Structure 1
Amino acid sequence: MKCVLQASFKSKQTEIDRFIAQFEHSGVQFGKAARNTIKVFQIGEKEVNIKAFKVPNIFNQIAYKFLRKSKAQRSFEYANLLIDKGIGTPQPIAYYEDTTAFLFKRSFYVSEHINCELTYRTLTNDFDYPDYENILRAFTRFTYKLHENQIHFLDHSPGNTLIKKVHDDYQFYLVDLNRMRFETLDFNTRITNFSRLTIHKSMVEVMSDEYAKLINEDYEKVFRLMWNATETFQKQFYRKKRWKKRLKFWKY
């Protein structure tokens, strides 16, 4: 199995190797394992988060073996790039890849485990959360910082930003990093990047207001585009869901 480890964690490699080898039978599962499995392990006083990506289909096994970087490798490399740009993400530690001569099998991404008070998803479910609007506006400023640093986070969705309160401020950490582009974002792309975050118009109104101030643009223009992008994404999402049900009717 291939292993790429941060230099600062070389002394812990034996322990991390053991976690990977015993992954199925050890560690504490974190969240629901819908597609990929996340478990938390302990190294001294530090908690380590290991994400095991499921074995891809046969076509992707060939692609990941010969043509594309694995999700684990991309997560590791993107995390280092984010940190270099001053963007919050759990400290990347290592990635592992299990392959055969011709096929790619399983991969693992190892990072620091961060215990946070909430994710963005909390804001979509609890409108009475303390300091609600300030958190939402701070999140919008965080997204603006991503855009200014030429970071196009393609999975900018409710569960992929951890939020931690530090004194009177909030820190944000991106997770699920394997789908990301580093490119200049034009106006439309910036605003459309908010489309997967919420179905609630009131939240879009607050984010539009804050983002319009940051880019010195008309609020009505920003809101109209952001809300249209949100509605379009929702329609596409449910249309795709309906087609999935029809094509895989035996599962439902």
Structure 2
Amino acid sequence: MHNFFRRHTVKTIIAPAYNTNRTVSEFVNTIPKLFDQDGDIVYQGRNTLKRFTLDNGDIIVKKFAIPNFINSIVYATFRKSKAERSYENSLEIIRRGFHSPTPIAYIEEFRYGKLRNSYFLCSYLEKYNTMRLYLDGVEKNDALLTAFSQYTAELHCAGIFHKDYSPGNILWKYTIDSDRYEFYIVDTNRMEFIEYGKRYLKNLSRLSFSPHVSTFIAKEYVSYMQRTKQMPMTDKTVEKINEYADRFFLGKAYKYALRNILKQPFIKASKGYGILAVFLYAKI
């Protein structure tokens, strides 16, 4: 509790594999001071990702948005921060035999006992692609989608439940030597490790708004579960997966339309109430 009365404290956890690496250790300890000035921006939005180059390889540093007043207290006292969860969940994914960028460290900065800035550091993956173009149906690659569907089934059977299992959070590359597709999970702060159940079918809902792609993945997923895991799945399971996907993307479209309607002046907005009514009717 004494930290509540200290103006500024920093908690830094470095993975054991990097603790003895002086270059990495020194770099980690300077992140709170150099992040805003140095590094190459990979993504900037609510959170910011930057790429830093060290002698022994590149590192990705994710700086999380400063939490609101309530969450800043919650993360400092009752709940693990997003940075800590990213670090621990990545370690657990790897421990269970799957891939995630190697976690290097996490850092938390506190002001008068409230969490302010937090950072997660991991290895940078060269020459990996996201699944977005293929899950959106822009690019066609049935072999990739089949491998991805089977990978997802194995991931679920291992008890790995990614709460934001979506195109941008799954990376892949094809390895010629092994003639296999290799997948990595990123953005790991929102995860659970739970026994397989019906809830996992909903985990496929965010993957594709394309009925063709969604059905292809659902069929491959169900077929693989039947064939290798002896799971009691049928064509109705495919329909249920597609139903979850339809609900998710309809809800997303509804929220997007509502958000844009509310941004407009009242006269313009009134013209959009018909659209809103359509979405409300469709969700009933």
Aligned to 1:196: 206
Q: In the alignment, does 2:237 pair up with 1:228? A: no
2:33 paired residue number: 21
Judge which range, 162-171 or 47-56, deviates more.
162-171
Amino acid in the other structure paired with 1:177: T
- Pair 1:98–1:145, CA change in 2 (3 A): same
**Counterpart AA for 1:144:** A
**SS of residue paired to 1:89:** coil
Partner of 2:272: none
2:17 counterpart of 1:8: yes
Q: Mind listing any 5+ residue stretches in structure 2 that lack a counterpart?
A: 1-9, 227-231, 270-284
Shift of residue 178, structure 1, vs aligned partner: 0.6
Does the CA contact (< 8 Å) of 1:209 and 1:219 recur in 2?
A: no
1:90 to 95, 101, 112: 101
Q: Are the counterparts in 2 of residues 88 and 174 from structure 1 also a CA contact under 8 Å?
A: yes
Q: 1:231 is matched by which residue type in structure 2? A: D
Distance (Å, rounded) in 1 between the aligned partners of 2:105 and 2:233: 44
Deviations 1:105-159 (A, max 9, x none): 0100000000234211121346445xx1111111111111111111111110110
CA distance in 1, matches of 2:13, 2:56: 23
Q: Which amino acid aligns with 1:151?
A: I
For 1:238, the equivalent position in structure 2 comes to 253
Partners of 1:153 and 1:179 within 8 A in 2: yes
How far is the alpha carbon of 1:98 from its aligned partner?
0.6
**Number of the residue aligned with 2:64:** 53
Q: For 2:175, give the aligned amino acid.
A: V
For 1:80, the equivalent position in structure 2 comes to 91
Q: Of residues 166, 170, 175 in structure 2, which corresponds to 1:161?
A: 170
In the alignment, which residue of structure 2 is the partner of 1:118?
Answer: 129
**1:225/1:154 CA distance change after superposition, 3 Å:** same
Aligned mates of 1:42, 1:75 — CA distance in 2:
21
In structure 2, C-alpha distance between the alignment counterparts of 1:105 and 1:249, rounded to whole Å: 34
Taking the aligned partners of 1:128 and 1:84, their CA distance within structure 2 comes to: 33
**Match of 1:180, as an amino acid?**
M
Give me the identity figure in percent. 28
Q: Cα offset for 1:247?
A: 5.9
C-alpha root-mean-square deviation of aligned residues, in Å? 1.9
Matched, 1:174 2:177: no
What count of residue pairs does the alignment treat as equivalent? 247
Q: Deviations over 1:148-178 (max 9, x none)?
A: 1111111101100010111121110000001
Is there any run of 5+ residues in structure 1 with no aligned partner, and where? none
**Partner SS state of residue 80, structure 2:** coil
Letter in 2 for 1:89: S
Match of 2:223 in 1: 213
Q: Is the CA contact 1:118–1:164 (under 8 Å) kept in the aligned structure 2?
A: yes
The alpha carbon displacement at 1:189 in A equals: 1.6
Amino acid at match of 1:28: D
Contact 1:19-1:26 within 8 A present in 2 as well: no
Change over 3 Å in CA distance of 1:197–1:17 after alignment to 2: same
How far is the alpha carbon of 1:244 from its aligned partner? Answer: 3.9
